[in-house]
Each structure stands twice: as structure tokens, then as C-alpha cells.
Structure 1
Amino acid sequence: MLKLLLCASACMVAATAHAELPAKFAEKGKLVVANTPNYPPMEYRDPATNELMGVDIDLGAALAKQLGTEIEWSEIGFEQMVSSLNTGRVDLILSGMSDLPARRETMDFVDYMRSGAQFYTSTKNAAEIKEMTDFCGKKVGMSRRTSFPDEAAKWSAANCEANGKPALEIVGTEGSADARTQLKQGRLDGAVQGSETLPYLTELEPDTYVIIGEPFTEVYQGIGFSKQEPELRDAFAAALAELIKSGEYKAIFDKYKLAGSMVDAPLINGEAVK
């Protein structure tokens, strides 16, 4: 567990009336937040300094400052996050998590970004794979811990099998980095990642990957909260609304070249805040 001080003592002022932490969290003086820093540009470590960086890290800092508190980042495996939230080991999740209907059964989300699953391939495969249906019958890797395998299977049924083409051969990987490694090794023909990660990826490793087509799903990324803490959820929704109004939210997304992924206003479980 790594504690990252996000607000100096001079910032420890009362939150605004519009975005105020519930008393029990304000009294603690910090929020424990689950994060897995392996999903650039959402969360990652600077190779030179080992410092936490990314959209979620900057957004978490801004939200903490808005609410007059600190964040203690708890680095845990993605598959352990929901159980950690619901057993009280962490107060919330801010780690590139998609707001999916199945997840809403056990948690609530404040949605802050648009996303979608998107295909890409290696430059050496680009002559053969030029459009999305060229992946039919090919080996395509994606993190087994995400919703991507199920979503890719649905896409394949509608776009490959329904048109008499062979199905995608979906390969579950140990995260997106593993998929990229296998793609570069020639063990995969393509891969799937969140659309928000691919511009960063192609800039980080130029002339290595080619994005194919448009995202084939639409989903929001959300901050996850226990259903037992609606007041905390609502405080974050209010704080996010204030960051959007002030322009600080836009500045964060512009920094990581993700202006196209911004939302106009916070959503709770995919719905407009009442």
C-alpha cells in the first residue's frame, strides 16, 4: 500500500457545500482508494521515477483537493477490487473500471469518461488486416479479467459467424501488456484494449501497432462505491461536477490527449445525476 499525499495542509479546508464528504470520512482525513497502475494512460508508473501517473491519478488528486482530504492509494489486483470495496478494506475504486450492469449489482458508479473496446494489430500484420472483419478466424488477445472477451464474442457472432465467416479465436491474456507481448511475438494476430489507451500506446511505441476500425462497444468508466455509501458517491459526483465547471477536468483530459473521451456532466450508474 502506497500513501500518496495529494493535498498539502494549506489545502485542508472545508469542502464546499456542494461537494462535502460524509462526516465519518472527513474525520479520518483520508480515503483509501484501490488502483492497479498497469493501464496507461489511465494509471501507470513513470519508468524513470516510479511515480504514479495517469488520468485517474490526476483526477483523484483533483477530487481529493476539492473535497478537502487526502488519498492513500491501495495497489491491489484488479480482480480483488470489488471484494476489497465491499469488505471495507478500501473506500472506493478509481482504476480504469468500466461501469457494467453486472457490476452495478454489488456497487455504484460515478461515471467520468467514455470508453469502448477496440481492435488493433501489429504493423507487420497491417497489410493483411485492414478492417475489423479481417480478424474473423484470427487469434485475438485481450485481458481475461475484463468484459472484453464476452463483448468480442458477441461482436464475432454478429459480424463473423452471421456472415458465414469463421469466428474470432479469442485468447484470454494476463492483462493488456501480456496481449501486446504475444502480438509482438507473432503468437496473436491482433488484440483488443480500451479505446482510451490506444493513442498513448501508439505514441509510446511508434511504428509498432495499427488501430483497426472504431470501438465496437460503448461504455463509461466509473469510480466505484459500495452500495452502503451513497453519500460518499454523491459527494464525488458533486466534486466532479465542480471540476468540469472550473475547467480542471478538461485540463486533465487534454494533458493525456483524451478530450474525445470526456463527459459533459457526471453520471451515476449511467444515468444523469438528479
Structure 2
Amino acid sequence: MLTSKYSVAALASFVVLMTGTYAASAEDLKIGPNGEALSVEASPALAEKLPADLKGGTLKIVTDPSVPPYTFYQADGSTLTGSDVDLGNAIAAKLGVKVEWSTVKFPGIIAAIEAGRFDMAITSMGDTPAREQKVDFVDYSTDGNAIVVLKGNPLGIKTIADLCGKSTAVLQGSVMQGLVEKQNEKCADNPINIQVFPDINQALLQVRTQRADATMYQYGVAAYIIKTSPDAANLEVLAFEQYGSGYNAMPFKKTSTALRDAVQAALTELKADGSYGKILAAWGMEANGLDTFTVNDGLRFNQPSN
């Protein structure tokens, strides 16, 4: 596991007591790829809702830094950035706490939350009925999934049904794996050769090197990687159809109801004061925003997952 520690004081949201209220000055938070300034006023009322061991303390958040523009490393290879990082820092600022960021590959995140190694995760994880059996979720945005192929789409793949008889690389434990496996049940005597990897970059590499015919990933992430990474220049995301649209959600240990509810309330206040919208806009993700933030609403979209 790679671990990077950032206090909200250093990165994003050190909170000082001023005239009876907590306030973060504009320079405390920097959002978006251009480091735009954002001011977030802390809420003493929400801070009081936190568990005793977190009040005025440090919120431990874990993420997988391989999903730009949600979470990824800056050019230095060690500084985390992305819309999820900005949102996590803003939540911490609203709750009047510091934040410690850690990184774990996606397949291990739920187990780490269950074990109590971290307080929560923000990593564009889908809220699904299967995952709700293990953790609680606060839903914070939406996204859909699309097929990624070699540029020019030489095999003429149009829909997920066209993956039958082809090799498809997927991220282990993801909604995309569930979608491809569900389609495979319909392929009869022409099954999909499903290749499972612990990292989406490995799945993309299989397509780039023609060891797989396609992969499937969140549309926004795939489009961002192809647009910004020279290594992915020979890939194409099939934008004409998306599958398994659903929530991006923050997982919490089942017993962490006080923290879960405080984070949900913090999101609601960040929406009301405009901070939530500014963060999404800074990353070009306005269309992914929610009007209300629900808890364990995965059945609404009923995405498949492990």
C-alpha cells in the first residue's frame, strides 16, 4: 500500500476559530487542474455530530489513484489530485477536521473499510445492493460505463452484445466486471473471454497491445485518460451507448453511522453554499452532480458487482 499524508492545513482545509465560527480562507483550498481558490466555512453544528475520536481530529480517507479525473497523481508521482480529492478536502473543511489520504488498489478498498483501517473512501465506487451487504454508502455523484476499443474500432463493436466471442479485460470487483459477466450469460456457445485485472491501467494495456479486444470502464474516466495520456492515444471510447449508469458513493463501516450521517450533511451544506458545484465544474463534471445525497440507494440503479 502506498500512503500519502496531507493535513487539511497543508493541502486544503485548515480551520481556525474566528468570531465564534470556523472559517477557511480562500487560499486554504485549491481545486481543479488549475488550482482555483475555494473558501469553505466549517460548521460547528456538523462537527458536533462526529464521533468523539474524530472531533477536531483527523479523518482517514482511502482512494485508488488510477481513475482520473476522480483521483490520480500529479506529475510528481506522489501528490494526489482530482475531483474526489477536492471533494474529500472540502468535506473535511466543513467538518472542521484534518484529513489523511492513503491509497489502495480498488479491489482491496471495501475490505480495508470493513477492517477499520480507514474511516471512509472516495474513489468513484458504485453503490450496489451487493456492496451494501458489507458497507454503508453516501451517494455523491453519478456516472455511466462505456466500451473502450482500439482507435478506429477495427472489430466494429457497437454494443455490449458484440463482446460475445471476444476477449474483454475488466477491473476486478468492479461494476464493469459485473456487466460483462451478466452479458456473458447471454452469449450461449460464443462466450466472452473475460480477463480480470486489479488495475484499470492494466486492462487498458491489454487493449492497447491487442491482447484483449475491448475493456469497459466509467465513461468519464476512460474519456479523460484517452484525451490526456499519450499512452492511450491509440484507444477510443464508444460514447454512443453507456451501460450500468449509477451512483458514485463513499463507503463507510457499518458501525460508523454517526460519521456517515455527518458526511451526508456536510455534502448537503457544500451543495447549498455552492462549493460542491464549483468542484465539479472545475473538473468539467457538472453533468455528474446530484441534487440530493442519499444513503444506501443502490437499488435505484441496481448495478451488478462483486
RMSD: 2.4
Measured after TM superposition, the shift of residue 267 of structure 1 is 0.9
Residues 41-120 of structure 1: matches in 2 within 5 Å? 41-48=69-76, 50-120=78-148
Measured after TM superposition, the shift of residue 49 of structure 1 is 6.0
- SS of the residue corresponding to residue 266 of structure 1 reads coil
Letter in 1 for 2:122: L
Q: Once structures 1 and 2 are overlaid, which stretch shifts more, 88-97 or 230-239?
A: 88-97
Deviations 1:31-62 (A, max 9, x none): 11122212211111012463110111000011
- SS of the residue corresponding to residue 196 of structure 1 reads helix
1:2 and 2:30 matched? no
Identity %: 26
Contact 1:19 1:239 in 2 (8 A): no
Measured after TM superposition, the shift of residue 228 of structure 1 is 0.8
Contact 2:141 2:288 in 1 (8 A): yes
Which residue of 1 is the match for residue 202 of structure 2?
178
Letter in 2 for 1:63: I
Partners of 1:138 and 1:57 in 2: CA distance: 36
1:140 and 2:168 matched? yes
Contact 1:11 1:65 in 2 (8 A): no
- Aligned with 1:168 (options 192, 197, 202): 192
Segments of structure 1 that go 5 or more residues without pairing to the other structure are none
Contact 2:63 2:104 in 1 (8 A): yes
Contact 2:113 2:253 in 1 (8 A): yes
Q: Which runs of 4+ in 1 moved over 6 A?
A: none
Compute the TM-score of the two structures, normalised by the length of structure 1. Answer: 0.88
Residues 146-157 of structure 1: matches in 2 within 5 Å? 146-157=174-185
Segments of structure 2 that go 5 or more residues without pairing to the other structure are 23-41, 299-306
Partners of 2:49 and 2:104 in 1: CA distance: 24
**How many positions carry a matched residue from both structures?**
267
Measured after TM superposition, the shift of residue 94 of structure 1 is 1.6
Compute the TM-score of the two structures, normalised by the length of structure 2. Answer: 0.79
Letter in 1 for 2:162: D
Q: Once structures 1 and 2 are overlaid, which stretch shifts more, 132-141 or 66-75?
A: 132-141
Partners of 2:5 and 2:167 in 1: CA distance: 40
- Aligned with 2:237 (options 211, 214, 238): 211
Partners of 2:135 and 2:114 in 1: CA distance: 8
The structure-2 alpha-carbon separation of the partners of 1:184 and 1:77, relative to structure 1 and needing over 3 Å to count, comes to closer
Partners of 2:171 and 2:51 in 1: CA distance: 39
Which residue of 1 is the match for residue 29 of structure 2?
none
Contact 1:40 1:200 in 2 (8 A): yes
- SS of the residue corresponding to residue 75 of structure 2 reads coil
